[in-house]
Amino acid sequence: MKTEITLSEAQAQVDQWIKTVGVRYFNELTNMTILMEEVGELARIMSRTYGEQSFKESDKGRDLGDEMADVLWVLICLANQTGVDLTEAMKKNFEKKNIRDLNRHKDNEKLK
């Protein structure tokens, strides 16, 4: 059984799920707002796990990976809705970073 999933496969699987189980995509602005909500939930767990805030009873039992997957899910929805191929976008992003940031981080005194 295959355990890994490519970005293209994730986009196709989310699209299939939305069109069958989910009925239809929420509109782009609604999904953008949902993305911010999911990022906030992730931030809450991060701040309590790695930051100085303490857990509230309602925070206990939340799974960091699941919160990250929620963020990714909605981002994939937005990519699907706007015609973005995330595989190609990531390739281009790596190319950009490898040119723009070739020495940027090596030369950053704060990172040494």
Residue 37's CATH number? 1.10.287.1080
Buried b (16+ CB within 10 A) or exposed e, 22-47: eeebbeeeebeebbeebbebbebbee
- Residue 78 to residues 4, 35, 40, 55, 86, Cα–Cα distance (Å): 22, 9, 17, 31, 10
**Residue 14 burial by CB count (10 A; 0-12/13-18/19+): exposed, middle or buried?**
buried
pLDDT of residue 56: 83
**Whole-model pTM?**
0.87
Q: Tell whether 44 is covered by a domain.
A: yes
Q: What is the pLDDT of residues 65-98, one digit of tens each?
A: 999 999 999 999 999 999 999 999 999 999 999 9
Quote the DSSP letter at residue 85: -
pLDDT of residue 1: 65
Q: Containing domain of residue 50, as a range? A: 7-85
Q: Tell whether 68 is covered by a domain.
A: yes
pLDDT surpassing 80 at residue 2: no
Count of domains in the chain? 1
Backbone angles phi, psi at 51, to 5 degrees: -100, -160
pLDDT-derived band of residue 103, with 50, 70 and 90 as boundaries? confident
State the first-to-last Cα distance of the chain, in angstroms, to the nearest integer. Answer: 43
Q: What is the pLDDT of residues 27-72, one digit of tens each?
A: 999 999 999 999 999 999 999 999 998 888 887 788 999 999 999 9
Averaged pLDDT, 12-31: 97
